[in-house]
């Protein structure tokens, strides 16, 4: 049963299993103890640090093992921000960072700091010029955070160029390398780097935090003597050994696998829009991870599609609102301004075969069609009569759709059903309170060649009024 959710977590690499077992017997003692068991544990820890540092491209004494990639990000950001508090309390983050970065940014704001988000283009790309502009606009920045590659759409960011801009401005760059580190070191003069072992088939419970020598860094309180004060608690040496060994093993195969998987992803990127009507492939076509492809399907509930694919034997992920416990659409897709409904992320693990991909392409159209068929057909409950804005030409008609209380993708489905109720030039207003509508109604307009006029509060009522002019 093909597992196509590699960007979420990889099955363990055989080397991880072997290394874990070996180190489980030899690496259980406290490495800070002076007895032989402690010294043996310390030697395993030191060797793992050397192996991992080589793969990261840093010195062993620049590398800390944390308990997760999230912890590495939280610790790295807090330490760099605290270390540079005198230089400034302004933090720059790209709008498509992992939620761990955005949550740490939120904590920084709550503690009195300021945060600015750097936007992306429709492919999810951060423009180095935008980083330079944000740095120039001030206030004095303490830190810039940009991921090496996006976790939802696979877009690779120009972190070497951004690091250079940061270096010129004297501002360190923290790179979340969770998605790209398995495939190769991150180029450029970054200052801090974070990663997570279960993304390369290492065990859970291990993150990496690299802090280059010379970068100001103030470890967080409470203090702890382990891992240079950067990761409190007893070191998890068997897992750390397995993480380092499996990173090296993954890298040994990465070049050939990257080429092979990139070709399979190209095939999916090309074929899906031909196989499934009303699909948008999102994310950069050129600057991307080898193994990730993401697309959104109009008029589809993402969670329902995910379940349909799971039943058909394919494990994928979704950035659609409906799969998230927060019921808000993916901040990544929102920042890109692309459709979020019916969103599917396919991320191929090493070893994925051509046959697996062909079978996926074979079952996808039916899965999408099945989900679309289950959705309630458009029930247009509004009527002509509410006056449109003054700017709209008279005589072409207005129509209001009441989608209040309905979850995505129903508002867009109802809009699609209602657009025919006005003549070309006429305006349809959709009343909706699902947060995804803010993203999906404009995206629908782009896909369908209609004009999105904007949103306004819904008078005294709940929700928001979205206005669309019929052009075709």
| Residues contributing to the site for a second copy (CB under 8 A) | 1, 3, 5, 8-12, 17, 20-21, 24-25, 28-30, 32-38, 67-71, 74, 100, 103-104, 106-107, 110-111, 196, 198, 203-205, 207, 221-225, 232-239, 303, 306-307, 310, 315-317, 323, 325-326
C-alpha distances (whole Å) from 344 to each of 208, 341, 449 are 28, 9, 23
Cβ of residue 454: shortest distance to a second copy, in angstroms? 32
Cβ of residue 457: shortest distance to a second copy, in angstroms? 28
Sheet holding 398-402, edge to edge: 398-402, 427-432, 464-469, 451-457
Cβ of residue 177: shortest distance to a second copy, in angstroms? 15
Q: How far apart are CA 224 and CA 419, in angstroms?
A: 62
Catalytic residue among 58, 322, 408, 445: 322
Active site (annotated) includes residue 297: no
Nearer to a second copy, 364 or 422 (CB): 364
Report strand pairing: 464-469 vs 451-457.
Answer: antiparallel
Cβ(302)–Cβ(322) under 8 Å?
Answer: yes
Secondary element (H or E) of residue 415: helix 410-418
Nearer to a second copy, 103 or 167 (CB): 103
Nearer to a second copy, 241 or 401 (CB): 241
Nearer to a second copy, 2 or 172 (CB): 2
455: closest CA among 431, 436, 471?
A: 431
To which residue do tokens 């990761």 refer?
A: 231
How far from each other are the two terminal CA atoms of the chain, in whole angstroms? Answer: 44
**What length does the chain have?**
472
Cβ(65)–Cβ(23) under 8 Å?
Answer: no
Nearer to a second copy, 30 or 121 (CB): 30
- Helix, strand or coil, per DSSP, at residue 307: helix
Nearer to a second copy, 71 or 84 (CB): 71
Q: How far apart are CA 41 and CA 32, in angstroms?
A: 9
To which residue do tokens 């990889």 refer?
A: 10
Cβ(242)–Cβ(20) under 8 Å?
Answer: yes
Cβ of residue 226: shortest distance to a second copy, in angstroms? 8
Cβ of residue 119: shortest distance to a second copy, in angstroms? 22
- Helix, strand or coil, per DSSP, at residue 110: helix
Phi, psi of 373 (to 5 degrees): -70, -30
Cβ of residue 10: shortest distance to a second copy, in angstroms? 7
Name the residues annotated as catalytic: 322
């Amino acid at each position: 049963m093909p597992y196509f959710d590699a960007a979420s977590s990889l099955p363990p690499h055989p080397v991880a299993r072997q290394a874990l077992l070996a180190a489980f017997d030899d690496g259980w003692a406290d490495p800070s103890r002076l007895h032989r068991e402690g010294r043996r544990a310390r030697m395993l820890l030191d060797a793992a640090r050397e192996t991992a540092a080589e793969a990261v491209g840093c010195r062993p004494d620049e590398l800390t093992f944390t308990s997760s990639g999230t912890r590495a990000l939280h610790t790295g950001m807090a330490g760099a921000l605290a270390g540079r508090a005198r230089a400034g309390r302004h933090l720059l983050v790209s709008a498509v960072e992992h939620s761990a970065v955005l949550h740490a940014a939120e904590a920084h704001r709550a503690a009195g700091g300021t945060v600015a988000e750097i936007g992306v283009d429709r492919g999810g790309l951060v423009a180095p010029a935008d980083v330079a502009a944000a740095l120039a606009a001030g206030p004095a920045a303490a830190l810039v955070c940009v991921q090496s590659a996006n976790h939802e759409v696979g877009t690779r960011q120009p972190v070497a160029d951004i690091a250079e801009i940061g270096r010129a401005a004297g501002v360190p760059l923290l790179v979340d390398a969770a998605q790209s580190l398995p495939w190769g070191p991150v180029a450029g003069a970054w200052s801090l780097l974070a990663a997570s072992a279960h993304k390369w088939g290492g065990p859970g419970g291990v993150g990496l935090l690299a802090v280059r020598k010379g970068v100001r860094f103030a470890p967080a309180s409470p203090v702890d003597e382990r891992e240079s004060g950067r990761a409190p608690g007893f070191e998890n040496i068997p897992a750390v050994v397995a993480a380092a060994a499996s990173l090296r093993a993954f890298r040994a195969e990465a070049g050939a696998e990257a080429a092979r998987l990139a070709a399979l992803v190209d095939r999916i990127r090309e074929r899906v829009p031909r196989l499934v009507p009303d699909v948008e492939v999102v994310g950069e076509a050129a600057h991307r991870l080898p193994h990730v492809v993401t697309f959104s399907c109009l008029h589809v509930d993402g969670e329902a599609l995910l379940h349909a694919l799971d039943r058909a034997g394919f494990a994928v992920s979704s950035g659609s609102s409906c799969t998230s416990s927060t019921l808000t659409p993916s901040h990544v897709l929102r920042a890109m301004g692309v459709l979020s409904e019916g969103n599917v992320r396919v991320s191929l693990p090493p070893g994925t075969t051509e046959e697996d991909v062909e079978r996926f392409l074979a079952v996808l159209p039916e899965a999408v069609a099945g989900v679309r068929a289950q959705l309630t057909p458009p029930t247009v409950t509004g009527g002509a009569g509410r006056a449109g804005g003054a700017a709209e030409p008279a005589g072409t008609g207005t129509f209001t759709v009441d989608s209040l209380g309905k979850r995505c993708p129903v508002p867009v489905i109802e809009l699609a059903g209602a657009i025919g109720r006005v003549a070309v030039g006429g305006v349809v207003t959709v009343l909706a309170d699902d947060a995804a509508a803010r993203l999906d109604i404009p995206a629908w307009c782009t896909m369908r060649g209609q004009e999105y006029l904007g949103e306004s509060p819904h008078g005294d009522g709940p929700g928001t009024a979205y206005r669309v002019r019929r052009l075709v």
